[in-house]
């Protein structure tokens, strides 16, 4: 009875309302060290998640390892599947700080095989994939990473299934947090982009220029159509040769524009000025630019590799990244499609950053409650051992 009474007292002391817990939470967010050398959707997800959490009263900001003591935060949130996370996870665990990870990953055999990499690397990657599918407990740095954190925050149910199937992650250590888009995109107009670049009613292909984004196949598919196209983004360091191949493939009606910052009004205006958005990557989870364009109801032509269909359902067109004829046909249909009001309503209702932040906060609370319950159980065991000691001695 004495043990039970003490346990109840501790529960009362640490049972504030969820909103109050949110206000008191101190969270640090971090990606790989080179994340902002070529920022993309993962970096936008990290930064906007932090901002949306602050709207909920959470003290959330980017981790500055040269200034911040991890022991002073309540939770560390990492983004991306990267081996460089191990040292950070070890440091957090030594400080007793729980760690959650947004993997932002996709594991698909077809995508691995068709990636534009040398044949030996593709064969090796596909071989490892098959082995992992047959034996999800097979050691690998990814499995060790996913098993080392307190909770995984995939962007979709499809990604969650992959984590369970290929890495043996138990369901209770997975908490799905959908991606989001800023509601300001819904109010964008084409005027600023048209004034700046003198072009409208084009196909927009937005994203970092790299093989995974598949701009080259898209340009091959659209060759000879005379459709105006805007490729919006910078080459990823190390893929400058790929970007040059894209430029050589591009026809006279293709324009390459430098990446626009996420909060640049011209980015929102680009979504309003185009006739459709194409994103026929090797995979997307689901692609932030697709969510942002969808806020306006912009017709979408998306890859069928990844989880885009889980977000947009029948309100978008899906094509294989290798199907040049299919890409071309889908884009031509989308070019003459009206604004999709149902698409806009769906995204504004279900995929705002506010909704994503609420789901993220729930994940933090789950981790902290589990950690607290575990510590409490250890305290009870130690207390029980203390009271049992005299009996043990007497026996």
**Taking the domains of the chain in order of start, what are their residue ranges?**
17-179+352-375, 183-339
Whole-structure pTM value: 0.82
The residues, any chain, with a CB within 8 Å of residue 200's CB and separated by 6 or more, are 190, 193, 194, 273, 274
Average pLDDT value for residue range 227-245: 95
Question: CA-based angle 290:292:298, to the nearest 5?
Answer: 70
Question: CA-based angle 261:267:268, to the nearest 5?
Answer: 130
Give the lowest-confidence range in 119-123, 246-250, 285-289. Answer: 119-123
Torsion of CA 110, 115, 118, 120, to 10 degrees: -30
What is the rounded CA–CA span in Å between residue 354 and residue 183? 9
Q: Are 47 and 261 in contact (CB under 8 A)?
A: no
Q: Of residues 113 and 222, which shows the higher confidence score?
A: 222
- Average pLDDT taken over every residue of the chain: 87
- What CATH class has 183-339? alpha beta
The yes-or-no answer to whether 17-179+352-375 and 183-339 have a common fold is yes
Give the lowest-confidence range in 2-6, 113-117, 282-286. Answer: 2-6
Q: Rounded to 5 degrees, what are φ and ψ at 326? A: -65, -40
Q: Of residues 117 and 383, which shows the higher confidence score?
A: 117
Q: Is 203 exposed, middle or buried (0-12, 13-18, 19+ CB in 10 A)?
A: buried
CATH number for the domain formed by residue range(s) 17-179+352-375 = 3.40.50.2000
């Amino acid at each position: 009875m004495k043990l039970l009474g003490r346990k109840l007292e501790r529960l009362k002391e640490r049972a504030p309302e969820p909103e109050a817990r949110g206000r008191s939470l101190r969270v640090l967010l971090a990606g790989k060290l080179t994340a902002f050398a070529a920022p993309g959707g993962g970096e936008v997800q990290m930064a906007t998640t932090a901002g949306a959490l602050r709207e909920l009263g959470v003290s959330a900001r980017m981790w500055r390892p040269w200034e911040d003591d991890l022991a002073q935060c309540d939770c560390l949130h990492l983004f991306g599947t990267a081996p460089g996370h191990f040292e950070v996870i070890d440091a957090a665990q030594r400080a007793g700080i729980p760690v959650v990870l947004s993997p932002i990953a996709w594991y698909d055999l077809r995508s691995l095989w068709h990636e534009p990499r040398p044949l030996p690397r593709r064969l090796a990657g596909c071989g490892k994939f098959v082995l992992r599918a047959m034996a999800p407990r097979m050691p690998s740095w990814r499995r060790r990473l996913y098993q080392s954190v307190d909770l995984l925050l995939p962007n979709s149910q499809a990604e969650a299934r992959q984590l369970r199937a290929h890495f043996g992650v138990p369901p209770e250590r997975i908490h799905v947090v959908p991606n989001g888009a800023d509601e300001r995109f819904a109010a964008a107009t084409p005027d600023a982009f048209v004034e700046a670049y003198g072009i409208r009613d084009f196909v927009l292909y937005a994203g970092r220029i790299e093989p995974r984004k598949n701009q080259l196949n898209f340009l091959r598919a659209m060759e000879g159509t005379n459709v105006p196209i805007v490729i919006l983004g910078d080459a990823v360091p190390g893929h400058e040769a790929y970007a040059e191949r894209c430029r050589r493939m591009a026809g006279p009606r293709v324009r390459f524009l430098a990446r626009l910052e996420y909060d640049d009004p011209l980015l929102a205006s680009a979504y309003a000025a185009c006739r459709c958005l194409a994103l026929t990557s090797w995979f997307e989870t689901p692609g932030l630019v697709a969510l942002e364009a969808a806020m306006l109801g912009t017709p979408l032509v998306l890859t069928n590799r990844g989880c885009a269909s889980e977000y947009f359902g029948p309100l978008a067109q899906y094509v294989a990244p290798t199907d040049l004829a299919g890409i071309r046909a889908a884009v031509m249909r989308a070019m003459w499609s009206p604004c999709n009001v149902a698409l806009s309503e769906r995204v504004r209702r279900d995929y705002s950053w506010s909704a994503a932040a609420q789901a993220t906060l729930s994940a933090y609370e789950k981790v902290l409650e589990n950690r607290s319950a575990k510590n409490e159980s250890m305290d009870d065991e130690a207390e029980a051992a203390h009271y049992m000691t005299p009996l043990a001695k007497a026996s």
